């Protein structure tokens, strides 16, 4: 039974989700301020990816009625009785541990906990969970994976966010919102309506949702590039410029993939989802490498 608790944290998501906060850590001006970059990275991974992201997955699954494949968990095991409680405990632990790495890290952990509850739990006075309200589901997810991840990483070890950090956090929040429809479509059927599967994608319709997603990817990319140009105009050397160029090319490839997918959203959607996520992950890693060089 303990194994089922662990599996419902979706361990396969730990590495991909870590890129959300590693994006922020790459621009952290005080890497290693606690004495070791390696210790900070391991702590950040455990707090954000295992406790917060994994805890959110556990809490969300506890209240879900789905029995089929999940993101990063193709064959979900039986849900343990106290899975939701387990998820909440992990997220509270994240808040406690993050307090050792500065007030901003702690604040982002607490904010993530609030977002997770709003997304997953049907609260008193509300007819539905946040994930069952189209657009609201995307906003909550984007804030948790975008804004929280970047700000936590950038302020880990007691740094303070400046304007450039906030702008980059906004840009990656927008790009996460853009990729969100892709995470929903492979779980939908062509006949699903908003009444059946209440979320961002069924509200807009799969084709429109993917095209809006592609537009959001472009908007986020533009903000990230403008922030880089305006706030770091003289810091980028040749190697980092090549990496930034690769980041832009990969990201634009992701935009093209989403637009092509929108033409026939239910054809080969699992393989298209996998290809898109790998493209955007590759773009993110190139950006992280470039920022690490110049920061």
Residue 137 burial (C-beta neighbours within 10 Å; 0-12, 13-18, 19+): buried
List pLDDT tens digits, range 13-66. Answer: 999 999 999 999 999 999 988 889 999 999 999 999 999 999 999 999 999 876
Q: 6 and 145 in one domain?
A: yes
Per DSSP, the three-state class of 33 is: coil
**Same-domain pairing of 14 and 150:** yes
Same domain, 55 and 124: yes
173 closest CA partner among 21, 1, 293, 6: 21
Last residue of a domain, one of 157, 180, 210: 157
Residues of the domain holding 284 = 162-295
Quick one: 150 and 178 in the same domain? no
pLDDT of residue 294: 84
pLDDT digits (tens, 9 = 90+) for 182-236: 988 877 777 766 666 789 999 999 999 999 999 999 999 999 999 998 987 666 6
Asked whether residue 85 carries a pLDDT value surpassing 80, the answer given is yes
User: Do residues 114 and 205 share a domain?
Assistant: no
What token pair was written down for 63? Answer: 């209240």
Together in a domain, 214 and 284 = yes
Is residue 205 domain-shared with residue 274, that is, in the same domain?
A: yes
- Number of structural domains in the chain: 2
Cβ–Cβ under 8 Å, residues 186 and 71: no
Beta-carbon count within 10 A of 73 CB? 17
The pair of three-digit structure tokens given for residue 270, joined into one six-digit string: 């699992």
Q: What is the pLDDT of residues 108-161, one digit of tens each?
A: 999 999 999 999 999 898 889 999 999 999 999 999 999 999 999 999 988 889
CA 158 to chain centre: 22
244/276 same-domain check: yes
- Residue from 29, 175, 169 nearest 108 by CA: 169
One domain for residues 108 and 9? yes
Provide mean pLDDT across the span 230-256. 88
Residues 144 and 251 in one domain: no
Residue that is last in its domain, among 133, 157, 181: 157
**Longest Cα separation, the chain:** 56
Of 122, 157, 192, the one marking the end of a domain is 157
* CA 241 to chain CA mean position, Å: 25
CB distance 225 to 173 below 8 Å: no
Q: Of the candidates 251, 242, 244, which has an alpha carbon nearest to the alpha carbon of residue 219?
A: 251
Kindly state whether residues 9 and 153 are assigned to the same domain: yes
- Give the residue ranges of DSSP H helices in the chain: 2-7, 14-25, 37-44, 54-63, 83-98, 103-120, 136-142, 148-155, 163-185, 200-204, 206-231, 238-263, 269-294
Same domain flag for 202 and 267? yes
What pLDDT is recorded for position 186? 76
């Amino acid at each position: 039974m303990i194994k089922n608790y662990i599996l419902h944290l979706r361990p396969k998501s730990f590495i991909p989700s870590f890129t959300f906060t590693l994006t922020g850590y790459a621009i952290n001006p005080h890497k290693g301020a606690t004495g070791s970059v390696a210790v900070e990275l391991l702590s950040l991974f455990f707090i954000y990816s295992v406790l917060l992201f994994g805890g959110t997955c556990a809490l969300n699954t506890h209240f879900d009625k789905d029995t089929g494949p999940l993101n990063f968990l193709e064959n979900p095991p039986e849900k343990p009785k106290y899975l939701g409680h387990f998820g909440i405990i992990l997220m509270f632990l994240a808040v406690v541990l993050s307090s050792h790495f500065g007030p901003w890290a702690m604040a982002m952990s607490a904010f993530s906990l609030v977002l997770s509850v709003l997304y997953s739990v049907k609260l008193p006075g509300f007819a539905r969970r946040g994930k069952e309200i189209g657009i609201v589901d995307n906003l909550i997810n984007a804030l948790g994976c975008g804004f929280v991840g970047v700000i936590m990483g950038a302020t880990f070890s007691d740094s303070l966010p400046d304007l450039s950090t906030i702008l980059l956090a906004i840009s990656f929040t927008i790009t996460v919102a853009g990729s969100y429809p892709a995470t929903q479509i492979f779980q939908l059927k062509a006949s699903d309506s908003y009444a059946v599967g209440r979320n961002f994608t069924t509200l807009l319709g799969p084709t429109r949702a993917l095209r809006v997603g592609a537009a959001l990817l472009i908007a986020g990319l533009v903000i990230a590039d403008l922030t880089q140009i305006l706030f770091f105009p003289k810091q980028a050397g040749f190697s980092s410029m090549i990496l930034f160029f690769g980041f832009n090319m990969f990201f634009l490839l992701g935009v093209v993939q989403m637009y092509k997918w929108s033409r026939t959203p239910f054809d080969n959607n699992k393989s298209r989802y996998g290809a898109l996520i790998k493209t955007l992950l590759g773009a993110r890693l190139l950006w992280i490498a470039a920022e690490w060089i110049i920061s």
